[in-house]
Amino acid sequence: MKDNRTFTMIKPDAVANGHTGAILDQIIKGGFKIIAMKYIALTDQKAGQFYEVHKERPFYGELVDFMSSGPIVAAILEKQNAVEDFRKLIGATDPAKAEKGTIRNLFAQSIGANAIHGSDSAENAKIEGDFFFSALERF
């Protein structure tokens, strides 16, 4: 699959703590073009559906509660090698292990409240983007 797009969410902790602007700035300066974007609140049901792949993990309930605890910013991003480059920009899942200067290193609180999502494959980027955006909402 063509790997020039990825999907992201600025998570409830980062939005609530006022980091939306700084994170978007870092994404744009990182060379990513915004193809679609919305400011939206996930219901419990929608958050559960989005993270369905993690249903069997012990942190699933906590993850769903957290992701529906406040508004998020969801976006589709474009760049060559988007998935891999974006994972580099955001850093490791656990902010204590995230490389210096990465978005999670700068803005995340904990492994659960870790500021930002990035798709892990081109295939999942497409599925996740389609979960949030219709064709009319993309540029």
Residues of this chain that interact with ligand DAT (CB under 6 A) are: 54, 59, 62-63, 93, 111-112, 114, 117, 120
**Residue ranges that bind Mg ion, judged by CB under 5 A:** 120
3-class secondary-structure state, position 39: strand
Q: Annotated catalytic residue: which of 26, 117, 119, 128?
A: 117
- Residue 5, beta-bridge partner list: 78
Q: Which helix (H) or strand (E) holds 124?
A: helix 122-132
Spatial neighbors of 33 by CB under 8 A, at least 6 apart, are 77, 78, 79
Question: What is the closest distance, in whole angstroms, from the C-beta atom of residue 125 to ligand DAT in the complex?
Answer: 12
Question: What is the closest distance, in whole angstroms, from the C-beta atom of residue 118 to Mg ion in the complex?
Answer: 7
Check if 54 is active-site: no
Q: Nearer to ligand DAT by C-beta: 106 or 111?
A: 111
Round to whole Å and give the CA distance between 32 and 35.
9
Binds 114: which of ligand DAT, Mg ion, none (CB < 5-8 Å by kind): ligand DAT
Q: Nearer to ligand DAT by C-beta: 54 or 138?
A: 54
Chain residue whose CB lies nearest Mg ion: 120
The full DSSP string for 20-52 is HHHHHHHHHHTTPEEEEEEEE---HHHHHHHTG
Could you list the active site residues?
Answer: 117
